[in-house]
Amino acid sequence: MTKLKGITWNHSRGFTSVVATAQRFCEINPGVEIEWEKRSLQEFADAPIQHLADQYDLLIIDHPWAGFAQKSGILADLSLHLSADFLADQESNSVGLSHLSYNFDGFQSALAVDAATPIAVYNQQFFCNQSIPQNWQNVLELARKDKVAIAGIPINLLMDFYMFGATINASMFKNRTVIDEESGVIALEAIREIVSLCRKDILEWDPIDVHNYMAENNDIVYCPYAYGYTNYSKPGYGKHLLVATDTVTFNNVPLKTVLGGTGLAVSSASKNLELACKYAEYTASPLIQETLFFDAGGQPGHRKAWLSSETNRRCANFFKNTLKTLDNSYLRPRYNGYLHFQDNAGSLVQEYAVRGGNPKEVLGKLNVIYQESLNHAGS
């Protein structure tokens, strides 16, 4: 018996999807056993993959690790183990920049088996007789009625900071500066305003918390941006069906949210590397993405699954209604050392959102952390 071990995150979207593909892969490959373990969403964001790559053959990862993976070599370069035709299909059927987000200087660290970006989500029943927000002012008006929530933990507020900057076409991560000062102030003020209109609970909420609350309660009925989860748009997953849609406009421009999703990577230390790569290829293949992976709660990364009339029928047109936002999403930096910035910058954004102060001082502190991250990378 040949055994592979994998590590993913503890939501149906991240766990039951790969368990299902592993089960079927083992059925058609006798003598193979794949065991998936799970960790919290916060641990997923925080845990260094260099430690996980020593323990597991398969890893579900976030694309900001791509630069580190390329430099360290702790993950297998899948371009050396999978066919050029397969990888070309993955790239041509990418949702937004999902596939290329795992490619750094030609090193393909993972396959984009899951695609996501913050999209708007609402309680279908509440809006059956009224229009959903179309612009940022509509969102603020609804928030003043205590009907709106966002994910307010530091990492998500940092992604919101990027979002507002990208939407107004700011100069970001250039010349050792996170963002130009004028745009940075606009972004911080926008975040502070929306946070001030939401209940304080959101400061401890991640996107799953937002979805779970909205699916089980009817006082919060709208979220203008949270990393999307098709699960909540399927009947029976929650008490209230949540409908997803593209983001509203900010200064007449659709909010350009920050690409997320996950990739399936293979540890370069795996004793069964080729078998692990074969399973990764199986899970990312068009047919499995559109059927088994989605059926088991996954959120596919292959474009054919997003365009499928059947997948859309089963989740209130989640894919069709949000694809424009995915294709328009902003790609975070991925240089080796970037995660030092991501891990430390969000708390400054959250502190300003709650307490206010001098936004230019906040931007100065962010620049210091950014410069540290560049030095941390040795670049």
Phi, then psi, of 178 in degrees rounded to 5: -65, -45
Sign of the four-CA dihedral 356, 358, 363, 365: negative
Together in a domain, 132 and 157: yes
Together in a domain, 283 and 185: no
Measure Cα distances from 210 to 115, 154, 203, 232, 370 in Å.
19, 15, 11, 11, 29
Domains identified in the chain, total number: 2
CATH value at residue 245: 3.40.190.10
The residue type at 14: G
DSSP H/E element including 245: strand 242-245
Together in a domain, 48 and 169: no
Range of the domain at 285: 2-116+259-326
Give, for all 379 residues of the chain, the pLDDT tens digit: 999 999 999 999 999 999 999 999 999 999 999 999 998 877 766 678 888 999 999 999 999 999 999 999 999 999 999 999 999 999 999 999 999 999 999 999 999 999 999 999 999 999 998 999 999 999 999 999 999 999 999 999 999 999 999 999 999 999 999 999 999 999 999 999 999 999 999 999 999 999 999 999 999 999 999 999 999 999 999 999 999 999 999 999 999 999 999 999 999 999 999 999 999 999 999 999 999 999 999 999 999 999 999 999 999 999 999 999 999 999 999 999 999 999 999 999 999 999 999 999 999 999 999 999 999 764 4
Together in a domain, 212 and 88: no
Report yes or no: 53 and 74 within 8 Å, Cβ to Cβ. Answer: yes
Please report the pLDDT score of residue 273 as a whole number: 98
The span from the CA of 45 to the CA of 342, in Å, is 10
3-state secondary structure of 242: strand
Structure-token pair, residue 331: 């790609």
Together in a domain, 154 and 241: yes
Together in a domain, 144 and 202: yes
Range 117-150 burial, b when 16+ CB lie within 10 A, else e: bbbbbbbeebeeeeebbeebebbbebbeeebbbb
Please report the pLDDT score of residue 69 as a whole number: 94
pTM above 0.85, yes or no: yes
Together in a domain, 126 and 191: yes
Together in a domain, 254 and 362: yes
Together in a domain, 231 and 105: no
Together in a domain, 222 and 149: yes
Report yes or no: 68 and 339 within 8 Å, Cβ to Cβ. Answer: yes
Please report the pLDDT score of residue 41 as a whole number: 72
Together in a domain, 21 and 71: yes
